Chain A
Amino acid sequence: MARRPFDIGVIVFRFRSGALLASLLLLLVACGSDDGATLPDTAAAPDGEREVVVLTHDSFDVSTDVIALFEETHGITVRLVPLGDAGTALNQAILTADAPQGDILFGVDNTFLTRALDADLFDPYLPGNFEQINANVLEELQAWSSAAAFSVDNPPPLVPITYGDVCVNYDKAWFAARDLAVPTDFVDLVDPAYRGLLTIMNPATSSPGLAFMLASITAFDDEYLSYWRQLTDNDVLITNGWSQAYYDEFSASGGDRPLVVSYASSPPAEVLFADPPVDEAPTGVLLDTCFRQVEFAGILNGAANRAEAELFLEFMLDIPFQEDIPLTMFVFPVNTQAVLPDVFVEHAEMPETVTSFGLLTDTQRDVFLTEWSAIMLG
């Protein structure tokens, strides 16, 4: 019999390097299943210390001193766990509903609201400062509840924390240079004068894309299919993601097209992140093309730190957190008493009223997306 060309036994046990390798490996595997000293553990507060675990989507952010304020006031450690985009974060929470990864989920928006509510993920709670919330952003939640107004006896499963508008943005310099009037509404966008100027996102892969689609359905009611056909005829460009549309196609960032679906807060962000500083935002917003996104947070059923979660949920509606929202997440606070930062007062435009789409069910979304794909993607 031909001798085996290689002998593992010899390698592993005859040589020190081999033995070293094996022990290193065992150590590593142990680290994976054990609270290894080499990789500091991310979870588990020391015994006796209180903590709250907040699950969020990737766009969530908050200033460190605001978190520190909560931690010092209550002696509770806050742990933030970003879980991907809004859809991904919610789906992860639904998947692990029987053993939640945290105590609070932030970032369910109004387009995903019915899915979150149908999955019965949340343990209703009415924060003490609930009545400070702008009534407009409660519409959908109230519509779902169908009962009387929310109260201690009828607590809401989720509470709104932020809201913001998705609208078409335009490049001021581009239109000025060509002496072309800036379009104002959905109808203008299909005007041949603006042919080939607009970039939108695929609603199946992008949440501002979905918002724009829903805004057009609100605007055109039963005629939305024919509106989309006109958009296609007017040479609309569709990308899969926001950053591609905004950074690669939008003329304000070096692309070719001066109209792009983005947020109403993008112009103040352009001012805030300009370098050197600028006096005026280089971009503007078409206020008649907006869709209002409301983001909610709620306490998860089976939360390990229920009492701490209640305190944090209330904190999210309090002034320090609410006033921090504009410059960290670039959306608006729902608390009517929160004061907006100067850059928002000066450069953020917001539609006076936005017609609400109402509750969007998963079935409706599927139908719209299928129809949209059939027309827009052929």
Chain B
Amino acid sequence: MTFSPSKRAVRALRKRGARTAAFALVITFFTVFFAFPLFSIVARGLLSADTPVVTLFADLFATERFRRVLWFTVWQATVSTVLTLVVALPGAYVLSRVAFRGRQVLRSLVMVPFVLPTVVVGSAFLAVLGPRTPLNPLLQVVFQDPTFTLDLRRSVTAILIAHVFFNYAVVVRTVGGVWSLLDPRLDDAARTLGAGRLRAFFSVTLPALKAAIASAATIVFLFTFTSFGVILILGGVTRATIEVEIHRATTQLLDLPLAAALSVVQLVAVIATLWVYGRIQRRVVYPAFVSERDVAQTPRGVLERSFLAANLVVMALLLALPLLVLVERSLQTPSGYGLRHYVAVFTTQPTTALGVSGAKALTNTLMFGVWATLIAVSIGTLTALLAASRQSFAARLLDRSLMVPLGTSAVTLGFGFLLAFRYLPPQLRSSAALIPIVQAVVATPFVVRTVLPVLTGIDKNVRDAARVLGASHRQVTRHIDVPIASRAVLAAAGFAFAIAVGEFGATVFLARAEYPTLPVAIFRLLGRPGITNFGEAMALSVILALMTATAIVLIDRLRLGNIGRF
């Protein structure tokens, strides 16, 4: 096909125009809905201080309490990240490379912990790790001590276990997504050349996964760095993260200078983390991806089967047990087990103005979740395309900037929204549309992190081969790039949905009485004494988990015609 020079110029211009427009769109979204609110609240705090800004920080670092909090924050985030990788990487392998019945569904189900409110999960963990845990008989056998009783309440161990629980899915989705595309022949080749199983893993597989592991580790680190509910509920009263301190300074003390200074410290730490992440990414080897659909193999031999079994046990104990505690509590009524609480949340019509009917909370949650997913997938995919198409400084900066919300205090962002948009007309500043937008701000980086490694990993040789064989640029895009990318985009959608539904910290500042979501309804119920309130809160939590599980299973199953297959 030939083009006249003028046509070619128009095309180039159009392409450049598209790129610029995409850039502008992503930057506008990020600036308006993240950077500007954050800047508003931090600037207000720093400027309202009686002392010069330098003194503010000097004073902060001079207090022993702050240094302790900073150290604990960094320490627990680092340990949580390492632990999560250690526990979840084998899980990611099993769920992406080992064929067994129910693998696909399990891959979707591990996302459920993500959406549950920390107050509910915290309570379940207190039961699992407390003296009346159902694990006692098992542990008594393991330790050969019939009197052994577990009690990890109010301990650092409880915090770490809960962090692994919440972040298991991050590793499974981010690393597993790439792992499932990795060409098994690479590994086979290494083994044929005489490498052992481990050697092949460390010299072939691990380098290929490095980018994805770095992504997952960064996300987990940022998440646990800003941990709030888990620390308050499971850590007891003596432990605090910077996030806890920001929350206290903002919502209780109304010490905005202190809150702003703490937010800046948090931001600096986040940027430092992203810088380290960038350094790792720079030396990444892009793996060759396969074009077959499924690379999973049935486990062979005792070793592989035991490995699979061990991972399933970990998932059962770590992920399923706390959820089962919730289910059990939701079924518990004074007259034995029954569905009474479930019937109540759907049939009792709220008689109070802020009462929440279960059905309405469910539809609200779904509606906001779907909108947030659409926004996050759009913005995230655009960013991934930009970053993959042009390794420019601007694209890299944009990609990294989108990660910052993950490590930003939810309460700072919530108050920032309030401050930044306060002069807008009331119908805009209190519009319900802000809810999915703020959820999308948090969900977008997950989309980028899920899609980008896949895009950059598409084997250049495959594309070149297609070109050599006569395929046009357009055909290459249609038959190679789009199918591979869309599979990643779909995987990202499930991820984004879970993040959006589970986002609570910032959403709660924007939630309106007319639009209670499930987490809001659960909080309201748990704020009141009375057995039925507690039971209904547990029932709603289980419904939230079921809804999320169903949605993710469906999204994961989604194949747009033939596009998902390649």
Question: What is A's interface to B at a CB cutoff of 8 Å?
Answer: 4-15, 17, 21-22, 24-26, 28-29, 31-33, 35-36, 38-44, 53, 58-65, 67, 78-85, 87-88, 90-92, 94-96, 98-99, 101, 115, 202, 204-205, 238-244, 246-248, 253, 256, 262-263, 266, 269-270, 272-276, 304, 328, 330, 362, 366, 376-378
Contact = CB atoms under 8 A, between A and B. Distances in A.
Contacts of B374: 24, 28
Interface in B238-266: 238, 248, 250-254, 256
Given A28-B375, A42-B432, A58-B524, A84 B386 contact: no
B122 to A, nearest CB: 7
Contacts of B254: 87, 90-91, 94, 115, 362
A304 B425 CA distance: 11
Given A13-B14, A273-B530, A8 B386 contact: yes
Given A9-B19, A28-B374, A63 B423 contact: no
Interface centre among B119, B334, B351, B436 (most CB of A within 10 A): B351
Contact of A273 (B353, B437, B531): B531
A94 to B, nearest CB: 7
Given A8-B386, A64-B353, A240-B232, 11 more contacts: A38-B371, A43-B431, A61-B353, A65-B351, A67-B353, A82-B511, A98-B422, A248-B123, A253-B531, A330-B528, A377-B237
B351 A64 contact: yes
Interface string B349-375: 011111100000000000100010011
Nearest to A53: B426
Nearest to B244: A205
A372 B69 CA distance: 18
Contact of A366 (B253, B385, B434, B509): B253
B333 A275 contact: yes
Given A91-B254, A92-B418, A269-B529, A240 B237 contact: yes
Contacts of A378: 238
B352 A328 contact: yes
Contact of B33 (A32, A87, A244): A32
Given A24-B374, A95-B415, A274-B531, A43 B385 contact: no
B391 to A, nearest CB: 8
Nearest to A88: B251
B478 interface: yes
B144 interface: no
A342 to B, nearest CB: 17
Contacts of A58: 523-524, 527
Contact of B422 (A36, A96, A263, A330): A96
Contacts of B427: 35, 41, 43-44
Interface in B463-479: 463, 473-474, 477-478
Contacts of B232: 205, 240-241
Interface stretch (B274-282, B452-460, B547-555): B452-460
A355 B536 CA distance: 37
A120 B371 CA distance: 40
Contact of A5 (B236, B379, B389, B532): B389
A304 B460 CA distance: 62
Contact of B334 (A204, A240, A276): A276
Nearest to B250: A91
Interface in B402-460: 415, 418-419, 422-423, 425-434, 436-437, 455-456, 458, 460
A9 B460 contact: no
Interface stretch (B201-209, B219-227, B512-520): B512-520
Contacts of B333: 275
Closest 9 CB pairs of A and B: A273-B530, A9-B15, A44-B427, A6-B389, A25-B378, A43-B427, A88-B251, A6-B388, A9-B18
Contacts of A366: 253
Nearest to B535: A275
Contacts of A53: 426
B363 to A, nearest CB: 13
A39 B433 contact: yes
B478 A28 contact: no
A7 B417 CA distance: 35
A378 B386 CA distance: 52
A61 B351 CA distance: 10
B16 A9 contact: yes
